[in-house]
Amino acid sequence: MPKALPVLDTTAPVCCSPIAAGPVGEVDALGIALRLKALADPVRVRLLSLILADATTGVCTCDLAPAVGVTEATVSHHLKQLRDAGLVEGTRKGTNVYYRPNAEGLGALCRVIDPGCC
């Protein structure tokens, strides 16, 4: 059975030195792991790729569900995980929610993993 990670606010971008810069402290490692855990699902990776492909206008959950072949409720669950990890952000328009990438959160995670990426 996988070990449950502690609850930590991950909505802010990860903030620490790149992992290649030297040993990572316990708190920083936890923050990075929680954000990567949000991406550790094939459906979430597909959702993020669809959201990144249409980053300017945002993508409605009603369009994401058929694109990945799951229900809107399941898409909403996965998007909550990505949103809680600070990787996407949503804007409500009427009864629909449109998701866009959180550039700051994604960029910070990228820089932590590969300091030469951005």
**pLDDT tens digits along 46-95:** 999 999 999 888 999 999 999 999 999 999 999 999 999 999 999 999 99
Question: Residue 62 falls within a domain, yes or no?
Answer: yes
Query: What is the DSSP code (8-state) at residue 101?
Result: E
Most confident of the ranges 22-26, 54-58, 73-77, 106-110: 73-77
Number of neighbours of residue 31 by Cβ within 10 angstroms: 24
Query: Which structural domain range is residue 32 located in?
Result: 24-113
| More confident: 8 or 16 | 16
Residue 34 CB-half CA count within 13 A = 24
- Going from the C-alpha of 86 to that of each of 1, 34, 66, 109, the distances in angstroms are 26, 10, 24, 10
CA distance 70 to 4: 26
Q: How many domains does the chain have?
A: 1
8 A C-beta contact, residue 98 and residue 75: no
Question: Residue 6 falls within a domain, yes or no?
Answer: no
Q: What is the CATH number of the domain that holds 105?
A: 1.10.10.10
Question: Residue 9 falls within a domain, yes or no?
Answer: no
Question: Residue 14 falls within a domain, yes or no?
Answer: no
Residue 60 CB-half CA count within 13 A = 7
pLDDT surpasses 90 at 23 = no
